[in-house]
């Protein structure tokens, strides 16, 4: 049961002060998720101890756990407008650059601490043994899927990136998924319904499912055989994908190390092709004259 459902369920038993807290949280959960206990207390004109008791009365260990539940709900349910409304509160009188980068650092630290190493290693094994690899990620997660697909295509010959805005076209592209195939699904709040449907379909076909998402409570997590999580908590309407990109980076490096002997020849051939067809610009700025291009 999510945090707002808990509040609604117990609403009739609340005191007058508790109902003031409940009414505010139900109507302004995105803003409340960025408030300290004292700030919320001042906002609804109750004591700080009443706010803390309200949180524990809902079944949470304390106010921090209550806020975590609000943040989780806000990330998955908040409209862009609500996120914008909470933005000014979260960044009030703060240096935006410092706040955002520190938030990303926290996401990286938490992701490193919480990621399931067995899920990570299992995902590497699954891709190395896959008959076909399907990579799925829509909306803000599309850039993650594209990043993974780019490097997997350098390592494997059986990679398919699913890219479409049409549900019917998506199913046309994954129609032949079967046992022995691996589907790598990526989804972060707000979760794409198309990704969930694709993962459900692939699971029903007997494919091995790898999921990269923000938590075990994600709607794609139940379909996964190998689950990797990365914290994507944002301080604004912009999704933070720094930690997910870092996890994918580590994942790709692990694949390269496991396929080291196989890919060495392929990489050497690629370098020759890139050289022959001038894929990369060789011009560099000189130290003596940063505005002068050397050829």
Report d(CA 185, CA 198) in Å as an integer: 8
Place of tokens 């020759």: 272
Q: From first to last of its 295 residues, what are the pLDDT tens digits of the chain?
A: 789 999 999 999 999 999 999 999 998 887 888 789 999 999 999 999 999 999 999 999 999 999 888 877 877 665 555 555 555 555 566 687 887 888 889 889 999 999 999 999 999 999 999 999 999 999 889 999 999 999 999 999 899 999 887 888 999 999 999 999 999 999 998 788 899 999 999 999 999 999 999 988 889 999 999 999 998 876 556 678 999 999 999 999 999 999 888 787 777 888 888 787 777 777 665 555 555 434 3
For the chain, which domains are there? Answer: 3-90 (1.10.10.10), 109-276 (3.40.50.10490)
The predicted structure's pLDDT at residue 284 = 61
Can you say how many angstroms the Cα of residue 250 is from the centroid of all Cα atoms in its chain? 15
* β-bridge mates for residue 294, sequence order: 284
The predicted structure's pLDDT at residue 103 = 82
The predicted structure's pLDDT at residue 99 = 79
Are 181 and 208 contacting, i.e. CB atoms less than 8 angstroms apart?
yes
Are 44 and 24 contacting, i.e. CB atoms less than 8 angstroms apart?
yes
Report d(CA 129, CA 210) in Å as an integer: 13
The predicted structure's pLDDT at residue 202 = 96
* All residues at 6 or more sequence positions from 114 whose CB lies less than 8 Å from its CB, including other chains: 229, 231
Secondary structure of the chain: what % helix, strand, coil (to 5)?
60, 10, 30
Are 26 and 4 contacting, i.e. CB atoms less than 8 angstroms apart?
yes
Q: What is the pTM of this model?
A: 0.72
Report d(CA 221, CA 17) in Å as an integer: 38
* All residues at 6 or more sequence positions from 6 whose CB lies less than 8 Å from its CB, including other chains: 58, 59
The predicted structure's pLDDT at residue 206 = 96
Report d(CA 187, CA 191) in Å as an integer: 6
The predicted structure's pLDDT at residue 294 = 41
For the chain, what is the total number of helices (H) and then of strands (E)?
Answer: 14, 7
C-alpha angle 148-150-155 in degrees, rounded to nearest 5? 90
Report d(CA 225, CA 128) in Å as an integer: 15
* β-bridge mates for residue 160, sequence order: 134
pLDDT tens digits, residue range 284-295? 655 555 554 343
């Amino acid at each position: 049961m999510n945090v707002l459902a808990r509040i609604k369920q117990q609403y009739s038993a609340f005191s007058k002060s508790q109902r003031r807290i409940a009414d505010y949280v139900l109507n302004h959960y995105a803003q409340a998720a960025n408030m300290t206990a004292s700030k919320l207390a001042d906002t609804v004109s109750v004591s700080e101890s009443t706010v803390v008791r309200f949180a524990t009365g809902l079944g949470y260990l304390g106010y921090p756990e209550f806020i975590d539940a609000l943040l989780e709900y806000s990330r998955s349910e908040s409209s862009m407008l609500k996120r914008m409304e909470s933005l000014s509160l979260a960044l009030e009188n703060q240096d935006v650059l410092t706040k955002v980068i520190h938030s990303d650092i926290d996401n990286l630290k938490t992701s490193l601490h919480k990621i399931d190493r067995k899920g990570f290693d299992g995902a590497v094994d699954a891709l190395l043994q896959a008959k076909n690899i399907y990579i799925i990620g829509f909306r803000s997660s599309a850039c993650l899927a594209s990043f993974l697909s780019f490097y997997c295509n350098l390592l494997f010959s059986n990679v398919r990136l699913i890219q479409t805005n049409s549900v019917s076209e998506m199913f046309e592209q994954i129609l032949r998924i079967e046992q022995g195939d691996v589907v790598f699904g990526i989804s972060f709040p707000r979760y794409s319904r198309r990704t969930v449907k694709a993962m459900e379909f692939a699971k029903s076909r007997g494919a091995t499912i790898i999921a990269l998402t923000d938590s075990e409570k994600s709607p794609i997590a139940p379909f996964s055989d190998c689950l990797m999580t990365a914290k994507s908590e944002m301080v604004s309407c912009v999704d933070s994908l720094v930690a997910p990109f870092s996890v994918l980076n580590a994942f790709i490096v692990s694949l390269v190390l496991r396929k080291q002997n196989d890919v060495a020849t392929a990489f050497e051939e690629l370098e020759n092709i890139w050289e022959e067809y001038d894929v990369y610009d060789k011009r560099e700025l000189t130290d003596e004259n940063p505005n002068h291009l050397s050829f």
